[in-house]
Amino acid sequence: MQDNNNRWILAAQCPSRLGTVDVVTRFLKEQRCYITEQHSFDDRLNGGFFIRTEFRPEADGFDADAFEAGFAERAAEFAMRFELTPPGRRMPVVIMVSKADHCLNDLLYRYRVGQLPIDIRAIVSNHPDLAPLAEWHDLPYHHFPITPETKLEQEAQVARVIEETGAELVILARYMQVLSSGMCERLSGRAINIHHSLLPGFKGAKPYHQAYDKGVKLVGATAHYINDDLDEGPIITQGVEPVGHTDYPEDLVAKGRDIECLTLARAVALHVERRVFLHARRTVVFDR
């Protein structure tokens, strides 16, 4: 992970207009801030502009409030929405999981060694199985069983945990429940899901076994924001792994687990580092 001891992030978006890059770079120069990384994109089809800038203040006594107030005045001319993220900030998150532990284990390891700038406030599950894993990491574990009859009640419990912990991001680390329309709306733009992506697509039980029977040559995973269309939210990132005739169903499953872990962790990192912009049903992603 990059050194972020004095790395501020300014992420902004607005309608396409002449001068959008200049309003950012000129203001940073005037504030004596040195740009260390910058990405921008202008969507010529839909008329949207996106910019992400990392910078370090050159002068002592950087005043974030004054910076935001001053930039807001400049940004208003462009109807520019922006967010300033201070160095070393760890985004508060809640992780949701069912019985499979591979994605949770991977996130917890990256969290423990400081590879992901997140602050895990709680783990929520519809099963008790992974409570010992949370306990080992000294993290709160909430077991909320769910049935078709208690779905809305269970989601209300989950929503209370998210609100009370101040979580800004919810990570569905193989949470095997379909969220209600109300929950999807509540978490719009701040909940990331992971699922397999096999070509051709296989739904239902044992997708990797179905893929083996069809002789697929690629297994993969997709990380996306949730929405009311099952597994069809705006995509953040995807990963693939080749497979061959020597790979049996259990090999496909193992490769699938690995690529799910990597893809989910990458998507979380991109989100918390303010590299992802929602743009209608799509995303703009400034990769590392």
State how beta strands 218-225 and 191-196 pair: antiparallel
Q: What would you measure as the largest C-alpha separation in the chain, in angstroms?
A: 64
First to last CA, the chain: 10
231 labelled catalytic? yes
User: Pick the catalytic residue: 42, 43, 228, 231?
Assistant: 231
Q: Are 171 and 125 in contact (CB under 8 A)?
A: no
- Residue type for position 267: A
Q: Are 224 and 266 in contact (CB under 8 A)?
A: no
Task: Dump strand ranges (E) for the chain.
Answer: 8-15, 33-43, 48-57, 81-85, 91-97, 118-125, 141-143, 169-172, 191-196, 218-225, 235-242, 276-279, 282-285
Any idea what the Cα angle at residue 126 is, between residues 123 and 130, rounded to 5°?
55
Between 207-214 and 249-272, two packed helices, what is the crossing angle to 10 degrees?
A: 120
**Nearest residue to 199 via CA among 231, 253, 236, 240:** 240
- Which CA distances in Å does 33 have to 2, 64, 88, 112? 19, 12, 17, 32
Residue 97 phi, psi dihedral angles, 5° rounding: -150, 160
Which active-site residues does the annotation give?
A: 231
